[in-house]
Amino acid sequence: MSTVTPATATGTTTQSNSTTNTSATSSLLGKDQFLQLMMAQLQNQNPMSPNSSDPTQYVSELAQFTALEQQTNTAQSTAQSAQANQATQALALLGHTVSYIDPSGNSGTGVVQKVDFTTSEPTLTVNGNTGIAPSGVSEVS
């Protein structure tokens, strides 16, 4: 893997091959840093010396970046859909009588009075008992 680092304001560059800690370094780079690095690499290419840069390497890096961007977008979309689904299911329980297990492991039955969205997932209030996860509901009537 070849990296290009601007050395001075005159436009000279330093190239080095890095084989150690590649996975650690790549996990620290975000998409903005990757694009900045790619732009620096393009700006510092020598068009008169085709052997100094491999054109297929640029295409390969761009394809990897595109795939990473698509995976990131898919993961975000899936997480948003899951949250919306949880919210919809919790709201559908309002006013219904449910059998549940609370966070302490105690079971109970009662009417869902409120849905709270202040935590990472919705929680229910059943007959004054708060913090009941919708996944703790075992029966709805």
Q: What is the pLDDT of residue 109?
A: 93
Check which CATH number belongs to the domain holding 92 and give it: 2.30.30
Residue 84 lies in a domain: yes
Burial grade of 139 (CB within 10 A; 0-12, 13-18, 19 or more)? exposed
**Prediction pTM value:** 0.49
Residue 92 belongs to domain spanning: 58-141
The series of mean pLDDT values per 10 residues for the chain, 141 residues long, is 43 42 52 79 71 70 83 88 86 91 88 87 88 88 88
140: nearest Cα among 105, 119, 132, 106: 132
Q: How far, CA to CA in Å, does 57 sit from each of 49, 67, 73, 95?
A: 15, 15, 24, 60
Is position 87 within any domain?
Answer: yes
